Amino acid sequence: MSEGLKKVYIETLGCQMNKSDSERIYGILSHFNYIPCEDENEADFCVVNTCSIRKLSEDKAYSKLGVWGKIKKERPLKIGICGCVAQQEGENLLKRFPYVDLVFGTQNIYELPQLFNNEGRICAVRENPIKENDFNIIRSKSLNAWLPIIEGCNNFCSYCVVPYTRGRERSREPQRIINEAKSILKQGFREITLLGQNVDSYGKDLPDKPTLAYLLRQIDALEGDFRIRFTTSYPTDITDELIDTVKNSKKICECFHIPMQSGSDRVLKAMNRRYDRKTYGEIVKKIRDNIKDVTITSDFIAGFPSETREEFEMTLSAFDEFELDYSNTAAYSPRPKTPAAKWVDKYVDENEKKERLAILNDKVKEMSLKSNEKYVGRVLEVLVESYKNGKFEGRTRNNKVVHIEANDINVGDFVDVKITKASTWCLFGEYKN
């Protein structure tokens, strides 16, 4: 190893936005002679990039700090914490964890160069961040590159901590995003995923009001063989322009992630979601009517305060009514600053909540199998993503994992695969030249 090089290890918890932030943090630190390492035991600097969406995610971050605190008793180690828990807790973290050296918030990543070389223990959690700049980005080794387009959220759903940890919506300049897409393609990535807490809000805060659909069309027009994805969509913000753009493009994949959260209108209202069940259904129908083989996935919460058993069952029936292909699920967890956390008297009993979550997960399995079975006998385009233990694995445009029987294909190829079998979480198929 060359003189002066040090190693940094980042433990990334939470959503894709955190994954993308960690790639940027690795990149910034590379300007200060830090190279990424995959083993915390070898690192000079360990950082946990945290998530606060549920209590469980927050606790994971603290247990990681505990492990590093022990290592620090044996040898020199710099310890940092960033991301959504850092934004939420700020200075408290320095008090609670005496071995932590650096706390920085979700909007303070570009301040790292100043913070980093300072003496003493530092906390930088501010809401007036310095602008992003042209530091390196060290992307994780895969065929897919995360490309953030908008950060923050203005929706304030009553259960959700994100508006407090990520701040208000801020869109990145379109030209910056397009240039980043070009550089991603130059590096050989085969897929670009546009990221945002609400991608449909893209551009509303910019002078020319560029839309998500506009951005997608610009990226679709770039040279090369690649796929484009985008996530997450807010149901009522999905526009006809977006649906048309996905329909008419070659590279944008047929997938919409549209969290519904509950199948009950009363619960949706209490959640402060801006749609009802009927409206959600109309949006799903419009997408399905226009886009062949589209996959529609969702998020649902089980045991929201005051949710009755009947209301929970409406969530189950929503799966059938809207033929959802898959959903993330979570048991409701009270979060700091959120209105719902104050409704203590309405909390659903823990056992009941667990039971509802288990039922919800069974429903997801049933729907996923049903969705996969539709494709048996069909020939689908698959991007070959990995080769492990003599088997190729890839994904279809509509995001289904496929185990491929093949000899003469390579990771990174787009191949047509005949689907022979479906299971709950994946498809099996054969490639014949």
Which chain residues interact with ligand F3S by CB under 6 A?
A: 14-15, 17-18, 51-53, 83-84, 161-162, 165-166
Q: What is the CA radius of gyration of the chain?
A: 22
Asked if residue 330 binds ligand SAH (CB under 6 A), the reply is yes
The backbone torsions φ and ψ at residue 108, rounded to the nearest 5 degrees and listed phi first, read -115, 15
The backbone torsions φ and ψ at residue 215, rounded to the nearest 5 degrees and listed phi first, read -60, -45
Instruction: Give which of ligand F3S, ligand SF4, ligand SAH, none residue 332 binds (C-beta under 5 to 8 Å, depending on kind).
Output: ligand SAH
Asked if residue 335 binds ligand SAH (CB under 6 A), the reply is yes
- Report which residue's Cβ sits closest to ligand F3S: 14
Q: Smallest distance from the beta carbon of 164 to ligand F3S, in angstroms? A: 9
Q: Toward ligand SAH, which CB reaches closer, 196 or 210?
A: 196
Asked if residue 198 binds ligand SF4 (CB under 6 A), the reply is yes
Asked if residue 233 binds ligand SF4 (CB under 6 A), the reply is no
Decide: 298 and 259 in contact? Cβ < 8 Å.
yes
Q: Toward ligand SAH, which CB reaches closer, 291 or 330?
A: 330
The backbone torsions φ and ψ at residue 175, rounded to the nearest 5 degrees and listed phi first, read -65, -35
Decide: 46 and 79 in contact? Cβ < 8 Å.
yes
Residues 6+ apart with CB under 8 A from 320: none
Instruction: Give which of ligand SAH, ligand SF4, ligand F3S, none residue 14 binds (C-beta under 5 to 8 Å, depending on kind).
Output: ligand F3S
Nearest CA among 215, 196, 301, 306 for reference residue 259 = 301
DSSP E strand boundaries for 318-361: 326-331
Q: Smallest distance from the beta carbon of 322 to ligand SF4, in angstroms? A: 19
SS3 percent helix, strand, coil of the chain, rounded to 5, is 40, 25, 40
Q: Toward ligand SF4, which CB reaches closer, 156 or 425?
A: 156
State how far the Cα of 358 lies from the Cα of 356, in Å rounded to an integer.
5
Instruction: Give which of ligand SAH, ligand F3S, ligand SF4, none residue 251 binds (C-beta under 5 to 8 Å, depending on kind).
Output: none
DSSP 261: B
Q: Toward ligand SAH, which CB reaches closer, 330 or 417?
A: 330
Beta bridge partners of 381: 416
Q: Hey, what amino acid is at 107?
A: Q
Q: Smallest distance from the beta carbon of 101 to ligand F3S, in angstroms? A: 22
Print the binding letters for residues 255-274 with ligand SAH: x by CB under 6 A, - otherwise.
----x-x-------------
**Which of residues 160, 364, 380, 419 is near ligand SF4 by CB under 6 A?**
160
Helix H segments across 41-108?
A: 55-74, 84-89, 92-96
Residues in contact with ligand SAH by the rule CB under 6 A = 53-54, 159-160, 162, 197-198, 232, 234, 259, 261, 299, 301, 330, 332-333, 335
